[in-house]
Structure 1
Amino acid sequence: MTAPGEAARRKPTRRPTIKDIARRAGVSESAVSFALNDRPGVSQDTRARVRRVAEELGWQASSAARALSGERVGCVGLVLARPAQTLGVESFFLQLVSGIQEVLSARKIALLFQVVADLDTECALYRRWWAEGRVDGVLVVDPRTEDPRPVLLASLGLPAVVVGGLAAQPPDAPRPPATHPPLATVWADDAKAMATILDHLHALGHRRIAHVAGMPGLAHTERRIRSLRTEAELRGLDKRQVRSVTTDYSDAEGAEATRRILDTAEPPTAIIYDNDVMAVAGASVAAGRGIPVPDRLSIVAWDDSALCRVTHPRLTALVRDTPGFGRLAAQELLAVLDGGPLRTVQGELPQLEARESTGSPPAP
């Protein structure tokens, strides 16, 4: 009978080695190496016997050994340089990662995911992963307007796919290769998405519109801010009545931005929020001040989620296939690792789903 606590004292099961396979198969260790690495020097019968024994023992090639030999390690990396506290309730990245993982798991490729404090730490992590041979390639999220990562990854020769698109350059501006080396990219059309929202609000009669944006310096934040201004100008709106404020994407900053906006001399009749969490926080601020939604204030969330659909009133939101965007990014990275060309691929344009949080503005 096993004594109490004996199982806890047992040593962990040792990983099988090439020596174990050689002993069980009755061949030399070099013969095992030849057989498992598809090298000549052993008969077909020996190769089959070695592989059968390796499978019986549950042997897997060491990722460190594969890295030293120049082979793939079966792992790709994803680093997120954002305040960790802003990720707890935001559904976007969870859905994105689920799509990425769906594609990778089908190829039995692992995802190494890490949250870091800032961009410098992210770059240092890429250097370490490259030096240690930890990953075959990386998915780069949150492109910046001034982004050091493309140059770094190109200099390391580490395959990468940028998720979201690099900062747009003016059409007549040169793009020096040293500044923007070619990288595979999957991107979403933030400009058209913002135009869809403006079409909806403008048709309802809104002329004073605020935008509670995400983190400053992110390429997609700048694109959305710029697109809001452009679309407002195209519709003849007073630029003083259409403005954006940046935040860290958290509910706390979303709520604080809403308070500041509502305290202005001419508060907006509609607010666009760059994620679902801030939109719900903004709706809560409005409710606390006795401002009915949508009778006095319309609210739009950039990303749809269960939060938008269970809030009362339900929030108008951009609906997109975020897991599908993650799948697209992972597929592009695997294509690059398989020797494919560096492509720029556009994701599906999100569609605006009008719900109860948007309506006509109050009469002047």
Structure 2
Amino acid sequence: MSEAPGRRQAVRISDVARAAGVSKTLVSYALNDRPGVKESTRAHIVETAQAMGWTPSMRARALSASRAYAIGLVFQTSPEALASDQYFTSLMAGLQSVLSTSQYSLVTEVVDSAEAEAVAYRRLALDGRVDGMVIADLRADDPRFGLVREAGLAYVSLGRPPEQAGMPVLVYDETQAIADVVAHLAERGHTRIAHVAGPQVNDAAKVRREQYQKHLRRHGLPDSAWVASDYTAGGGREATTRLLEGDPQPTAIVYANDLMAIAGMSVIHSRGLRVPEDISIVGWDDITVSQYLHPALSTVTQHPFDDGRLAAQLLLEAIDGKEFADPVWTPNPRFVPRASTGRVGTGQAGAGPASAGA
């Protein structure tokens, strides 16, 4: 429908935010001359708004101070997979530990496709249900950054986004942990080291697989047999079965998370094989139960609860208009050797007494 003669459609703060490539909160702060905005950014926003014909109104000024007092987190996975993934439950607990002491709440949704994810993002923004989003588990050509820009929302990214937009970004480096895993197994005589990787549409999973292959080559070892899986126990069981049916059979398997590693250990035991006497096992995440298994699971420890706390703190600052020029580094993952890794052909555990319960 065309506009009535003589009437001009009002330019909204969300329109300016989209055109300027920033959040609605940042536009509000800049146009209302509030602190916390770099002068160069304020000038860019004001220039964009003026070019679009934006004019302030009393109603707009009143609405600029209104908030949903909520942040959003949308998972593209199944509810069953989410329920069994301690990484994400710990991340949410960390987020909630900060939000519970503020006026903010956490709004979560679980969707099963990229299309449903886009709908969820737009609904949360258009309904005014959230002031910002947490973006985790980054993917190649991740569409979510375009969605938050389109919606004019603040966000915090757990991993490097396609471009820096003044929003907080949490990063860490897995390189040393992966190098330590490969060195630990190579020093114990393993030459057939297989890998149960995460989904290869996931940036971190793809990079981790490439890192494993690179460090194997540094030790003069062949590229590993590998299977992409989905981080679930069922996926770990299926991937382990495939690897055990290969020829030659691996002497060690490294997994993309502890849940798949634990499921893989059950498959190994069901075939009359022993861990670590016949096959060594390494997980990733260091979930609570890992150190209490028999044998205790060698794994890589991460800090999802602490990451969640920091992500919430930084996102609240971004919602208040603070800009972030540089990534925020968090503690790097660290390899923890335990009893599930041993020397080839001897069954000798690869960890000392002190590390078995570390």
Same fold at TM > 0.5: yes
Aligned match for 2:217, one of 230, 233, 236: 233
User: What are the equivalent positions in structure 2 for 1:1-364 lying under 5 Å apart?
Assistant: 68=63, 70-166=65-161, 183-239=167-223, 242-342=224-324, 343-362=326-345
Find the residue that maps to 1:217 and give its secondary structure: coil
Mapped to 2, the partners of 1:341 and 1:332 lie a distance apart of 10
Q: Check 1:303–1:67 CA distance in 2 against 1; reply closer, same or farther (3 A cut).
A: farther
C-alpha deviations, 1:301-347, integer Å up to 9, x for none? 11112331222111111122221111121122112112222241122
Mapped to 1, the partners of 2:275 and 2:250 lie a distance apart of 13
Mapped to 2, the partners of 1:274 and 1:81 lie a distance apart of 18
Find the residue that maps to 2:84 and give its secondary structure: coil
Note the residue ranges of structure 1 that are not aligned, 5 or more in a row. 1-65, 167-174
Find the residue that maps to 2:200 and give its secondary structure: coil
Tell me which moved more, 204-213 or 334-343. 334-343
- AA aligned to 1:194 is I
Mapped to 2, the partners of 1:70 and 1:129 lie a distance apart of 18
- AA aligned to 1:203 is E
Mapped to 2, the partners of 1:216 and 1:246 lie a distance apart of 7
- Cα distance, 1:67 vs structure 2: 9.6
Find the residue that maps to 1:272 and give its secondary structure: strand
Residues 67 and 134, structure 1, Cα contact 8 Å, conserved in 2: no
Please, what TM-score do these two structures have when normalized by structure 2?
A: 0.75
Find the residue that maps to 1:87 and give its secondary structure: helix
Mapped to 2, the partners of 1:243 and 1:346 lie a distance apart of 32
- Cα distance, 1:78 vs structure 2: 0.5
Mapped to 1, the partners of 2:210 and 2:165 lie a distance apart of 24
- Cα distance, 1:281 vs structure 2: 0.5
- AA aligned to 1:150 is F
Find the residue that maps to 1:271 and give its secondary structure: strand
Residues 151 and 181, structure 1, Cα contact 8 Å, conserved in 2: no
Mapped to 2, the partners of 1:129 and 1:227 lie a distance apart of 37
C-alpha deviations, 1:248-300, integer Å up to 9, x for none? 11111111110110111111111111111111100001101111110111001
Residues 68 and 133, structure 1, Cα contact 8 Å, conserved in 2: no
- AA aligned to 2:339 is E
Mapped to 1, the partners of 2:259 and 2:191 lie a distance apart of 25
Find the residue that maps to 1:122 and give its secondary structure: helix
Mapped to 2, the partners of 1:78 and 1:96 lie a distance apart of 11
- Cα distance, 1:188 vs structure 2: 2.8
Mapped to 2, the partners of 1:182 and 1:247 lie a distance apart of 34
- AA aligned to 2:321 is G
- Cα distance, 1:150 vs structure 2: 1.1
Mapped to 2, the partners of 1:121 and 1:317 lie a distance apart of 34
- Cα distance, 1:68 vs structure 2: 4.9
Runs of 4+ in 1 over 3 A off after TM superposition: 66-70, 180-183
- AA aligned to 1:226 is E
Q: Check 1:106–1:323 CA distance in 2 against 1; reply closer, same or farther (3 A cut).
A: same
Mapped to 2, the partners of 1:181 and 1:121 lie a distance apart of 25
Mapped to 2, the partners of 1:247 and 1:332 lie a distance apart of 32
Mapped to 1, the partners of 2:243 and 2:125 lie a distance apart of 46
Note the residue ranges of structure 2 that are not aligned, 5 or more in a row. 1-60, 347-358
Residues 134 and 155, structure 2, Cα contact 8 Å, conserved in 1: yes
Residues 143 and 220, structure 1, Cα contact 8 Å, conserved in 2: yes
Mapped to 2, the partners of 1:89 and 1:229 lie a distance apart of 28
- AA aligned to 1:84 is P
Find the residue that maps to 1:232 and give its secondary structure: helix
C-alpha deviations, 1:123-147, integer Å up to 9, x for none? 1111111111111100011110121
Identity of aligned residues (%): 37
